[in-house]
Structure formats: structure tokens, C-alpha cells
Amino acid sequence: MKIIPTTLRAAAAALVLAVAGCAVGPDGPPRATVPLSPTNEPATTKLAVDTPDKWWTLYSDDALNDAVEEALTHNRDLRVAAANLLAAMAMQDEVDDRGRLHAATGAWAGHGNATSGQPEAAMADAGEGHTGSRVGASLDVGWELDLFGRLRHLADAAREDTQSAAAARDGVRILVAADTTRAWLQACSTASRLAIQQHSIRLLEDGLALAHRLRDTGAGSALDVARARALIAETRADAANLAAARRQALARLAVLMGRVPEDAPAQARTCEAPPALSGAMLANDPVAMLRRRPDLREAEHELAAATARLGVARAELYPRIALGGGITHAVLDVGRGGESRSTVWSLGPLLSWSFPDMTAARARIAQAGAHESAALARFDGAILRALGELRQSLIAYDAASRRVADLTQAERQSDEALRLATLGRQAGETSALEYLDAQRQDVATQARLAGARAALIDAQVQVFKAAGGGWREAPAVALAVPDRVAAAGPSIGKGEIGQ
């Protein structure tokens, strides 16, 4: 690094460089190669643009709403994201401070004859310093002139990093809201399906008892008894899986809410049927919903930050110019009658430049350009993933809706068949075995319909999640900061991280 004293000629050269450096750095980030534009392909189901941000309130369950609010406040993954945002904000403050006037003070005291630290000896051109006690103090100020945009691009990069961290936090909010809602509804739906399976087991046990009686009277066979026992064992196995799935959903719900796995809300533990979605998912442009997805904002800000860092690298090709000054006051032979005092001061610009060794600077420019290209590719990939996720979720929702509709019709027919079997049994036209078989078929249809409704609920949540809802009106994150960190400065401490 060369330090060149400023002269009139150097100042003129710096002025020329300043004019030439006005165009240093890119004007802005490149455009995405996958633009967000409405699709011309019709879709049977799309999400309404006016869907509330708190979409889980459409299930009209106050206990569910409270659970999601608690999760958005106390979830540990959200605390990590909030802490990352705090770090990005602190880094932005640090970078912004580089463009301000800086001051440094110093003081010293000692006894000896060393010339170092004795400005009065240097001014007197003495070969060695005076022996004696001395004290002194100094004040230095400096300010870097941002003629070539280095500080501006640094500030831009830090600001974009902060926005990216905020978007990442909002993305975690979407995941937490969706996963909490899904866990709650899964706990309710598995409880409903488990009740149906238990009813089916009771019917199968009645059928087994009937098969025993028929075998004993010679009207049945051992094969009928074996088949009945096999059906009971299979149904009990399915019921055990449902019971385990329900316990898993409750444990997952508790952890999402920031609780221990055994501490799921009482309302979720006693829920017997999932709430229904109030209102239809109306047809509208799904691309409009994608614009509120935080992962797209995160990728966009990362691209802008990479572009700003490219500007920083390009600015390194030019000199740094700073204005500064300083004053030093020293006292020699303290406490003696002949003590002497001296003051040294300086004021003026300072020019530093790494020229002519530009190899490292140009290598950094190449690195920054490659990082910008990678950020652009990530942005394009985020757009494609968002489009794909929403499209796939809508397709899955359409299929689940059709399956529920078909099984609802099947349940009606099964109910009618059971009604006719009941009438036939009362009239003596239907055997006991036929009547039990009609009951089993009806319960089996109910079980399939309950499973289809659970899949439909999961598809609904996936659509809301893919559409990017759940972060705009989120509560503040309760972030607990260790005391040793909180004591480091006033800007970081225990509290909440909000919008």
C-alpha cells in the first residue's frame, strides 16, 4: 500500500478520477430470466387473491387460532431466524458507520529518555530525547470521501442482507403457521378416523361371535371364523397406526408451539373431528399470490446484495481519499520547574491506492461477478420452485376434492344399502350375516371418506403454504438473548422481534 502526500497536482488528479469514477459499479441487479407473468393455461382451482393472511382463521376454530399465534411467538426456529435478522441489522449499522466522521483519542505517561512519544524532541531535531517524566494526549479525526461508491455499495449490500434476513424470517413464519395448522388438523382427523376404526372392530367382533354360532350349529364353517379373526386383526393394526399418528401429531404440535412434546394443548388432545374450511377457494390468478412469498423476496435481495458487492469490488480499482486531521499535546519534565510543552497538529487529505498491482482487485471483481450470476440462478430457481409448488398443490387439491365428492356419494349409497338391509332383517328377509356385512361395508366406506377428508385438509394447508400466506400480520417473536450478549450494547437485548 502506497501513502502519497497530497499536493495540488495530486488533488487535481483525484478530481479527474472522481469525475471518471461516477459510473463505477453496476446500475442495478440483473432481471430474472423467469418473469412472473400470469399463465394462459386454465386451472380448475386457484386461490383467491383476497384470502386473509391469517388463512387458518378460515377454519373458525379459536383454539387453533391461539395455537398458531403461540407458535409464531415461541417457535425456536423462528427465534433463530429473528436472531439472524438482529445480526444483519447490527452489521448494517456497522457498515453505515464507515461513512461517518471517525475520531480516536489517546493518552500516555512515562519516564525515560526515548525519543518515541516525545514530539518536542522531534521538533527540536534532537538526536535523543530528554530524560524525565512525560505525559501527553492526542486526538485524530478522519472521514473517507466516497468518490467512487465503495461505501455506498457496502451500505447497499448490508441493507439488502438485512432485507434478505427479514424475508427469511417471514419464510419461517409461513412454515411454522402451516405446520402448526397441519399438526392440529391431523390430530383431529386421526381421532375421527380412529373412532370409526374402533366402531368397525366392534362390528367385526359381533361378526366373529355370529360365525362361531353358525359353525357350532353346522350352518357355518371354520373358514368363516378364520376370516373374521383375520379382519379383526387387520383392523386393530390399522387402528394402532392411527393412534400412533395422532400421538405424533400432538407431539409435533407441542414442539412447534415451543413446548415439550408431552404438553400439547388440551383442546387438541380432546378434538374428535377436524373443523371444516369456511368458504370456497375461489378462482383467481395464482401468480398474484406468489408475489407475497418471502422466499422470492429473500432470493431477490440476495441478488441485489451480490450486485452491490460487485460494485464494491470495482471501486477497489480506484484510490481511496480521506480527509483527516490530528493534534497531539505533550508535557516533558512533569513536576519540575523547567517542564516544557509542545503541540503538534496536522490537517489535510490522504490518498491511498493499490496501483499498479491490480491482479488481486480484478480477481475479486471476477469472484463478485460469479457470485452475482449464482444469485441470479438462485432467484430464477426460487421462481420456478414457487410456480411448481403452487401448481402441484392446486392439482393435489383438485384430486382430493374429487375423491371426497366421489366417496361422499359412495357413503350415501352405503347408507341406503344399510337401511335396506335393516328393513330386510326386520322382515326376516335378510340373514344376520348379510346384515353384519352391510354394516361393515358402511363403516368401511366411512373410514375411506374420513381418510379422503384428511387428505383434503392436508392439500388445503399445502395450497395456503405455497401461496405464501401467514407472515404479514404475525406477532412479534419472543427472543431470549443471553445476558452476556445483552450487556454488549444497547441495541441487542431481551425482548421481541416484530415486523
Average pLDDT over residues 414-439: 88
pLDDT tens readout for residues 210-237: 889 988 888 878 888 898 899 899 999 9
Most confident range, picked from 236-245, 289-298, 349-358, 430-439: 236-245
Give the mean model confidence (pLDDT) for residues 59-72: 96
Rounded-to-integer distance, Cα 390 and Cα 465, Å: 9
Residue predicted with more confidence, 175 or 343: 175
Query: Looking at residue 260, what is its pLDDT?
Result: 97
Which residue has better confidence, 207 or 34? 207
Q: What is the pLDDT of residue 336?
A: 55
Q: What is the pLDDT of residue 280?
A: 58
In the block, cell 395456503 appears at 464
Give residue-wise pLDDT tens across range 86-121. Answer: 999 999 998 988 878 777 888 877 766 655 544 555
What whole-number distance in Å separates Cα of residue 50 and Cα of residue 279?
Answer: 12
Could you give the percent of the chain with pLDDT greater than 70?
Answer: 76
E strand or H helix at 186, and its extent? helix 150-217
Which residue, among 139, 141, 99, has the nearest Cα to 320 in the 3D structure? 99
23 DSSP assignment: G
DSSP string, 44-77: S----TT--SSGGGGG--HHHHHHHHHHHHH-HH
Checking if the pLDDT of 361 tops 90, the result is no
| pTM exceeds cut of 0.85 | no
Identify whether the C-beta of residue 331 lies closer than 8 Å to the C-beta of residue 339: yes
At residue 358, the pLDDT reads 77
pLDDT at residue 3, as a whole number: 36
pLDDT-derived band at 378 (thresholds 50, 70, 90) equals very high
Of the pLDDT bands very low, low, confident and very high (cuts 50, 70, 90), residue 410 is very high
Highest mean pLDDT among 24-33, 278-287, 356-365, 488-497: 356-365
Instruction: Supply the Cα-derived Rg of the chain in whole angstroms.
Output: 37
pLDDT at residue number 112 = 64
Domain ranges of the chain: 33-99+146-318+353-488
Q: Is the pLDDT of residue 166 over 80?
A: yes
More confidently predicted of 461 and 22: 461
User: What does DSSP assign to residue 499?
Assistant: -
Q: What was the pLDDT predicted at 18?
A: 45
The predicted structure's pLDDT at residue 467: 85
Using 50, 70 and 90 to split pLDDT, how confident is the model at 1?
A: very low
User: pLDDT-derived band of residue 325, with 50, 70 and 90 as boundaries?
Assistant: confident
Q: Which residue has the higher pLDDT, 396 or 114?
A: 396
User: How is residue 131 written as a grid cell?
Assistant: 530524560
pLDDT value at residue 130: 55
Burial of 119-128, coded b for 16+ CB within 10 Å and e otherwise, reads bbbeeeeeee
* Average pLDDT of span 255-268: 97
In CATH, the number for domain 33-99+146-318+353-488 is 1.20.1600.10
Confidence grade of residue 75 (pLDDT, cut at 50, 70, 90): very high
d(CA 407, CA 411): 6
Task: Over range 465-477, report the average pLDDT.
Answer: 76
Name the residue among 5, 310, 353, 13 with its Cα closest to residue 152: 310
Residue 392: per-residue pLDDT: 92
- Calpha distance 34→402 (Å, rounded): 32
Q: DSSP strand E in 354-428: where?
A: none
Give the per-residue pLDDT at 258.
96
- Whole-number average pLDDT of the chain: 81
For residue 109, the surrounding DSSP H or E stretch is strand 102-112
pLDDT band for position 478 (cuts 50, 70, 90): confident
